[in-house]
C-alpha cells in the first residue's frame, strides 16, 4: 500500500487531534487535581505523611485538607474554563511545591542518595514534570480562546479550538 493512500486517514486523525487534544488535556489535569484534592480532604490520601514531612513547619491537620481544597478549586476551574490564567498560575505554584520533596527529603526521594535512582516517592514527584508541561500547553491556548470568544467567529480548523 502506498503512503499516498494513507494521507486522508492521517489528515482525519490530525484534524481530530487538533480539535480535541487540548480539551482532553485540560480535562485530564482537572480530573487529576479534583481526585487528588478530594483524597486529601477526606484524609484517605497515601501522601499525607509525605506532605507533612516535607512542609514540616505547618500543622498537617489543617494543611493537608486545605491543600486538597486548593487542588479541587484549581481542578474545578480548569474543568469549567474559568479564570484560567490565575488557576494555571496557582497550578504551577502547587506543582513547583511538590519538588520540595527532592530538596528537603532527598533520602525519601532517592535510593541511597543517588539522584538517578528514584524511590516510589521520587517517581511520584518527578512525574509532575509532565503535569507542569501539560499545564503550559493549556496555558499557551488561553489567549487564542479569548480572541475567538470576542470575535464570535469559528477559528480555522488548524487551531486548537476547544481549550
Q: Where are the domains of the chain?
A: 11-151
Structure confidence at residue 143 (pLDDT): 76
pTM for this one? Answer: 0.81
Mean pLDDT of the chain: 88
Give the tens place of pLDDT for each residue, 5-31. 889 899 999 999 999 999 999 999 999
Please give the backbone phi and psi of residue 153, each rounded to the nearest 5 degrees, phi first: -110, 165
Res. 4: pLDDT tops 90 = no
User: How large is the average pLDDT for residues 94-121?
Assistant: 95
Task: Please give the Cα distance from 71 to 74 (Å, whole number).
Answer: 5
* Cell digits of residue 55: 512542609
Amino acid at each position: 500500500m502506498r503512503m499516498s493512500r494513507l494521507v486522508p486517514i492521517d489528515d482525519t486523525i490530525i484534524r481530530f487531534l487538533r480539535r480535541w487534544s487540548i480539551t482532553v488535556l485540560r480535562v485530564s489535569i482537572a480530573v487529576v487535581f479534583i481526585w487528588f484534592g478530594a483524597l486529601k480532604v477526606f484524609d484517605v490520601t497515601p501522601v499525607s505523611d509525605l506532605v507533612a514531612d516535607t512542609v514540616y513547619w505547618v500543622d498537617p491537620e489543617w494543611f493537608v485538607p486545605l491543600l486538597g481544597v486548593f487542588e479541587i478549586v484549581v481542578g474545578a476551574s480548569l474543568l469549567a474554563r474559568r479564570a484560567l490564567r490565575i488557576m494555571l498560575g496557582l497550578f504551577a505554584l502547587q506543582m513547583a511545591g511538590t519538588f520540595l520533596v527532592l530538596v528537603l527529603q532527598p533520602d525519601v526521594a532517592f535510593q541511597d542518595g543517588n539522584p538517578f535512582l528514584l524511590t516510589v516517592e521520587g517517581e511520584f514527584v518527578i512525574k509532575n514534570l509532565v503535569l507542569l508541561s501539560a499545564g503550559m500547553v493549556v496555558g499557551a491556548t488561553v489567549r487564542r480562546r479569548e480572541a475567538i470568544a470576542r470575535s464570535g467567529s469559528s477559528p480555522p480548523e488548524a487551531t486548537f479550538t476547544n481549550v
